Amino acid sequence: MSDAEADALAQATCLVQALAARLGASLIETHISWVLLVGDRAYKLKKPVRLPFVDYSTLQARRHCCEEELRLNRRLAPSLYLDVVAITGSADAPAIGGAGPAIEWAVRMRRFPEGALFSERLRDRRLCESEVDACAALLAGFHREAPVARADSGFAGATQRAARAAAALAGASAAASTDEVALLARWLRAQAQRLAPHWAERLRGGHVRECHGDLHLSNLIVVDGDVSAFDGIEFDPALRWIDVIDDIAFPVMDLRARGRGDLAFRLLNAWLDATGEHSGLPGLRHALVYRALVRAQVECLRGREASARRYVEAALRWVRHGPPWLAFMHGLPGSGKSFVSQAMLQTQGTIRLRSDVERKRLFGLPATADSRASGQDIYGEEATKRTYDRLFSLARTALDAGWPVVLDAAFLRRHEREAAVALARQARVPWRIVHCEATDEVLRTRLRQRRGDASEADEGTLALLQGVQEPLSEDEWLRTELAPATPGALANTP
C-alpha cells in the first residue's frame, strides 16, 4: 500500500468512526468494507483500497460498486437491499443524505436479526431440511433467469480457472502440509487440462451466467421464514459470470465442510431436480475443491488457522473420493422408493435421478405439474422408453464424472433392469438393486395421501402395474438389498 493509499484509508476510517458515533451505530469491519448497524438499518461502505481482486480507490469507483451491489443483490434479496445513499458533510461531521456534495457512498439495507445466517443456524442446530429445500428452489429459479454470457465473452475458461485455483491454493498453503499442497496442485492442473473442452462447451451452451459468486453459508439467511442470499460479488464481473454449477458448489461444499454432508447432497440433488443441470456434473468436483480452497484462503487471511484447516481437509476429501457405483430402485408405486432413495443420497452422497422428474422434463412440464392438463400422454410405452433412456444417459454422465448414482424408478420389467445392468457394466462400476415393498393396503393408502409430488401414480396405476410387473429373477435377488424400515441402514455403498 502506497503512502497516498494509506492516508486515504486513514481518512476514511475517521469518517466512518465519526458517522458511527453520530448515528449511535455499532461497527463491523471486513478487509474491504465497513458496515454500520443502527436500529433496523445497516449501511455498507467500501474501503478506499486497491487490491489484486478489487479497486475501490476512487469515490467514483465506490459509488459505481454500491450501485452494482444494489442491482445485483436485489435479484435474490429485494426486501433486504433498499437504496444507495450519499454521505455528505465533512469527515468530522458526516451525515447520511443531506445537502452538499457526496464525500462517500453507502448501500442502505434492512438489518436482519442475529441468528439468521445459515452458518449460525447450522452451528445452533436450527437449520432444517425445509430451509435447505427452499434454498435449492430459490437458487434454481435464480440461475434459470440469470443473464447468459456471450459465447465469445471468455468468462469461466480453463486458463482463467487454473489461475484462480492456483492463487487460492497459494493463499491456503499455510493451512496445508507440503505434500498436501503438491497433491492439490497436481490434481488441479490435471483437472484443468481434462476439463478444458467441457468448460468451453458449457460456455457455448449458455450455462455460464451472471451468478451470485459467493454463496457460502454466511451469505445465506432466513428472515421471517423466507430464504435469501446477499452480499454477491459486485467488484469483479469475472467472479460472478460463472457456470451455474460453480455457484451451487459453494453452499454444497460449505455444508459438507461443516459436517452436514446429508444437507449438502440434499441441496445439490434438489437443485439438480429443479434445473436439470446434470451436464455440469463433470466439472462439479473441481468447483467444490476450488470453493474449499477459496474459503481456506480467506480464513488464512483472517488468522483463523483451525477454520482454514477444515476447508483444506474438505478440499482433500473431494479429491480423495471413492469409486462410483450404481444402485437402482425396484418396487410398485407407494412402496417407498423415493423415500429410501432420498435417505440414500443424504447418507451416501449420491446423485439421484428420478423418473417422475425427468419424465416431465422431457415433456416440458414442471415436476409437480398435472400432465393431464397439458393434453400430453407422458405415461405411454414410448414415453416410458424415452424416460428410461434419459435416466441412463444422465447416469452415464454422472458415473463417468466419478459420482455414485441412484436411479429412482420402478424397474418392474426385466428389460428395464437389464438395461441398467448393461449401463453399469459399460461404465465398469458395481451395481445393486434396492427393493421396496409394502402391503396392498399400505400402497393404496400412501397413493391416496400423496400431495405436491412429481409422481401422478394413483390406485388405477397401481392395479395396472401389478398386472404387468415381472418378478426379480433368482440371479437378480442375489444382487438385491431389501430396503430397511430405517433407510440409514443403507449407508454402506455397494
DSSP secondary structure string for all residues of 432-464: EEEE----HHHHHHHHHH--S-S----HHHHHH
Q: How far is CA 391 from the centre of its chain?
A: 22
Domain that residue 17 falls in: 3-110
Same domain, 345 and 430: yes
CATH number at residue 396: 3.40.50.300
Same domain, 131 and 186: yes
Q: Which of 319, 346, 376 is the endpoint of a domain? A: 319
Q: Which of 280, 304, 319 is the endpoint of a domain? A: 319
Q: What pLDDT sits at residue 101?
A: 95
Nearest to 223 by CA among 141, 106, 138: 138
pLDDT in tens, 215-242: 999 999 999 999 999 999 999 999 999 9
Q: Which helix (H) or strand (E) holds 408?
A: strand 405-408
Q: 57 near 71, Cβ under 8 Å?
A: no
Sheet of 41-46, strands arranged across: 26-29, 33-38, 41-46, 104-110, 81-89, 94-96
Q: What pLDDT sits at residue 378?
A: 81
Same domain, 310 and 332: no
482 - beta bridge partners? 435
Residue 473 reports pLDDT greater than 60:
yes
Same domain, 38 and 142: no
Top-confidence residue, 29 or 98 = 29
For the chain, what is the mean pLDDT? 93
Mean pLDDT of 314-323: 97
- Note the maximum CA span of the chain: 86
Same domain, 184 and 333: no
CATH number at residue 295: 3.90.1200.10
- pTM of this prediction? 0.94
Residue 382 reports pLDDT greater than 60:
yes
Same domain, 304 and 336: no
Q: What pLDDT sits at residue 494?
A: 39
Same domain, 87 and 171: no
How many angstroms separate the CA atoms of 419 and 483, rounded? 22
pLDDT in tens, 410-462: 999 999 999 999 999 999 999 999 999 988 888 888 888 877 777 767 777 77
Same domain, 431 and 354: yes
Same domain, 145 and 57: no
Mean pLDDT of 159-185: 97
How many angstroms separate the CA atoms of 381 and 48, rounded? 65
Same domain, 133 and 217: yes
Tell me which of 18-22, 88-92, 316-320, 447-451 is least confident: 447-451
Nearest to 107 by CA among 83, 74, 88, 89: 83
Tell me which of 51-65, 205-219, 247-261, 366-380 is least confident: 366-380
Same domain, 330 and 310: no
In this structure, the number of other CB atoms found within 10 A of the CB of residue 271 comes to 24
Nearest to 5 by CA among 46, 49, 47, 54: 49
Same domain, 360 and 222: no
Mean pLDDT of 146-153: 97
Residue 72 reports pLDDT greater than 50:
yes
Q: Which of 292, 319, 346 is the endpoint of a domain? A: 319
C-alpha dist (Å) from residue 390 to 327, 359, 414 = 16, 8, 18
Work out how many domains the chain is built from and give that number.
3
Most confident of 273-282, 299-308, 331-340, 358-367: 273-282
